[in-house]
């Protein structure tokens, strides 16, 4: 083992811990800002569409993406039911289910870290670097994470629309 490999082995747990702590702060009570919900819906919807366009001719990857997206949407709806919604005088707030959101995000982070380590391990061996869309497992992880956060963002938009309609009726 050379020094670079040892550094990689030492820094990976630190990187995972930093990502986890960052996600933990994002899964706390937060102000509901409609533009952020639209951004989340567009980014994660785009993530699914780009992956879909890359996997159209490969049925295994396409099936994995579809299954992951369906499962992610299911968990997103489940997460919306577990969310605490608050309508206060100072604004609208929501508290997402922390563990579920962290798990969904860390699934994709773990898969990307694995691919990065695989690229590092194959460096200099003449093997081509793996593409993100060439693995059914990666497509499952992408679909799961993107489907969850897409459904969650759309659910928050629907919650805000319902509130806006209730105000208009009063």
pLDDT digits (tens, 9 = 90+) for 77-127: 999 999 999 999 999 999 999 999 999 999 999 998 888 888 887 777 777
Residue 18, burial from CB neighbour count under 10 angstroms (0-12, 13-18, 19+): exposed
Phi/psi for 12 (5° steps) reads -60, -50
Give the integer Cα–Cα distance in Å for 154 and 41: 6
- The two beta strands, 91-95 and 84-88, are antiparallel
Region 128-137: mean pLDDT is 82
Using a 10 angstrom Cβ sphere, with 0-12 exposed, 13-18 middle and 19 or more buried, the burial of residue 35 is: exposed
Kindly tell me if the per-residue pLDDT of 170 is higher than 70.
no
């Amino acid at each position: 083992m050379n020094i670079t490999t040892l550094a990689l082995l030492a820094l990976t747990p630190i990187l995972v811990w930093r990502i986890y702590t960052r996600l933990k702060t994002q899964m706390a009570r937060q102000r509901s800002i409609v533009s952020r919900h639209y951004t989340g819906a567009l980014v994660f919807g785009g993530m699914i569409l780009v992956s879909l366009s890359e996997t159209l001719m490969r049925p295994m990857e396409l099936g994995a993406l579809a299954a992951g997206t369906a499962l992610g949407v299911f968990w997103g709806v489940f997460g919306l039911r577990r969310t605490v919604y608050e309508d206060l005088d100072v604004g609208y707030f929501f508290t997402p289910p922390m563990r579920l959101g962290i798990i969904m995000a860390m699934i994709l982070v773990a898969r990307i870290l694995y691919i990065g380590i695989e690229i590092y391990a194959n460096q200099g061996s003449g093997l081509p670097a793996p593409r993100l869309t060439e693995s059914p497992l990666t497509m499952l992880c992408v679909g799961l994470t993107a489907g969850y956060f897409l459904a969650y963002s759309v659910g928050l938009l629907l919650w805000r629309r319902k509130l806006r309609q209730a105000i208009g009726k009063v």
